[in-house]
Chain A
Amino acid sequence: MGYKGLKKVDIIFDCANCEPLEVLKKALAMTPDQIIEQIISSGLRGRGGAGFPTGLKWKLAKAEKSDVKYVICNADEGEPGTFKDREILDVVPSKVLVGMAICAYAIGAKEGFVYLRNEYNFLLKDLNPLIEKFNKNIQNLGLDFTIKMFSGSGAYICGEESALFESMEGKRGEPRNKPPYPTKIGYNGKPTVINNVETLVYCTMIIRIGVEPFKKLGTSDSRGSKVFSISGDTTKAGIYELELGIGVDEFVKEFGNGDTKAVQIGGASGFCVPRKDFKNKIIGFEGVPTGGSMMIFNSSRSMYNVLKDYLEFFAEESCGQCTPCRVGTQQLLKGIEAIKRGEKPSSYLNQLLKLTETMKVASKCGLGQSVQNSFSSIVNNFREEMIY
């Protein structure tokens, strides 16, 4: 494990005023295959949560034979405790658009969409004119690509890529069966690359600064840096770009308020790391992966309440179509409440833990599959708080 000390990085928000079109020109001077090659060799993995290798995703989409392909920027940002995409779109929107254009050029797409979280509609005031201008500029550069905005439906599940496509197609936001994956059959049934806001900016920056400066950051499984949304019991709440692979203890030393009991890494669908594990866990795909949310809890927090909040969130935000997730989330919530009230014995927690295993292996999408992460990491580490 490549344990690292804390290191602040400035790639995403760097040179907010530099000319993004220059980066695009640089990309257009390369061949699509060269671009994809660079993204692959950078080791960049998706920043939306699942961590799929971005270059490979682009390569798969490029390989599809289709006249129509799409690039979609996932700006639905619904994970509790995450607000970094909003910041990126607010501060360096052009870099996001350039990332989309580079991707479009690389895979052969003519149309792109930014799927914007409903609550972020206030950004449209600035984004709309920017996109209009950007569309003209890229046409002038000879790239046949147009970006449009799409205002989301307001449901957390619509951040899941296939539910997002359904929602864009005017249907109910329900995740699809996979396979087929979006690179084969995505929006409107066409090959689609969908990337997180932050992922796209890293693509822009990898083209601009080159592969090496990015790649030398992080660990072998988690190259580069990442933007974190830090909240909870901290005096330094906010957005930070940090190198990947740092130890949780380093993180807590910097951001904790001295009394940190646990850190929830990756939001409601992520993992809870208790104090005793701070030393031997790193933040990254080989350790604790995260889409960016870091919630810090100090000793006065009830982890029962934390878990209950998450379960209420899941029971509300599950799309409700598949059995393990729809009913499982309700059972977990009702179950911990019943144990707390003494209506069920504490051994019922074991039944519930088994249930999360079923949800993990049998749910249709990432939402139901990842409920186990927070449930088991909180229940196993704070069992007594669940019971008494």
Chain B
Amino acid sequence: MSLLQVKNLRVEFPTRRGTLVALDDVSFDIAPGEVLGVVGESGAGKSMTGAAIIGLLEPPGRIAGGQILLEGKRIDNLPYEQMRRIRGRQIGAIFQDPLTTLNPLYTIGRQLIETMTTHLPIGPGEAREKAIGWLEHVGIPAARERIDSYPHEFSGGMRQRVVIALALCAEPKLIVADEPTTALDVSIQAQVIAMLKTLAREKGTAMMLVTHDMGVIAETADRVAVMYAGRISEIGPVRELVRHARHPYSKGLMDSIPPLDRRVERLQQIDGSMPRLSAIPKGCPYNTRCPRVFDRCYVERPELLDAGTTRAACWLYAEGAPQGASV
């Protein structure tokens, strides 16, 4: 059974000029221990999806439809206190900027210990020993000496390792990692991701990994979801999606990645920009930029359809699509 199921999730923001639909009909599963990569342009709704899963959408944003299930039980409609017990314990979170995610006034040890004593039946002494263990796991040198240091005494990369230790220390089954390395120095991004991947594998932790880095996706994820304008446009196994994306948007996205093995003169860029939430067109949201657009795309919105090994929200994969459409 899936660890996490997101079914037809819809997130709305009531504003003065009407309701904005930030996520619409988003559905996906994550199996135990699986890593789901989530990619897409800025504003596609990746962070919003993560926030909805951990139950921390910022008001006035709210879940207006659909369900989120953890091990078959609904968690999207739990009272605050019950959801709080799930956060950290069952679902951990890693945020983007390690310079701002740690409380500057407390030692890292204190922050680790309070997280563990909140969720696990252990006392502060035992939690402290475990905290030292976690700091070693995430690669903090001289953990025993450094546990009583304050966040500002660490570099950005080291702080993100501490954040990862904090997210994992109550041994959640799922981690929502929102661009965990984007704010880090390029030279240490790979190390931190490798460490995160190894730890998740060792502990059997599933992960929803949001990133802009296709290299990270290719190396870390088992499956990938591509998001566009608050919807999933394609989802499937990582190898298939990276090599043979079916949805025109995913194709464009993959073509814009510099290949590792050969030099190219110029990267393909997708023309135009993603529509704002208030101006998402009728029909397929990608129809303003799609090179393969045809009449049906302006009328009806495509659901996720079988496109061979992946599922794509594109009319090209429906019966009766124009000749030569399918790859």
Q: Say whether A and B bind each other.
A: no
Using a CB–CB cutoff of 8 Å, the interface residues on chain B facing chain A are none
Q: Which residues of A contact B (CB under 8 A)?
A: none
